[in-house]
Amino acid sequence: METTVLGVLKKACDLVGSGQSLGIIEAISSLREEASGRTRDLAYYAVLETAMVSRGDASLAMLAGGDRTETAIELLQSTIRRIRAALH
């Protein structure tokens, strides 16, 4: 069974939070065995959209950077909340 975009985002959040991945891009990319390229791409776009809506300018450096773990986790959690709200 293939993982959904929400599943990818949750797993990425766990990976960043546990220190297994340095940033959002690395975390999502590491889920190749669990999700298709399309699903991972949709997860990247969802995170970028959340970042642009909430902070204005989103940058790939912010998504890749490992020096802001709390910010990455917050962004992933915000994306998950935004998608869940849209589903209800």
Give yes or no for a contact between 86 and 50, defined as CB atoms under 8 angstroms apart: no
CA separation for the pair 61, 52 (Å, rounded): 14
Q: Which pTM was predicted? A: 0.85
Structure-derived torsion over alpha carbons of residues 42, 43, 49, 55, reported in degrees to the nearest 10: -160
Please give the mean pLDDT across all residues of the chain: 86
Instruction: Find how far residue 60's CA is from the centre of its chain.
Output: 12
For the stretch 33-47, pLDDT in tens is: 999 999 999 999 999
**Rounded CA Rg of the chain:** 12
Location of structure tokens 């939070």: 17
Q: What pLDDT was estimated at residue 61?
A: 58
CA separation for the pair 32, 19 (Å, rounded): 18
| Overall average pLDDT of the 69-83 stretch | 90
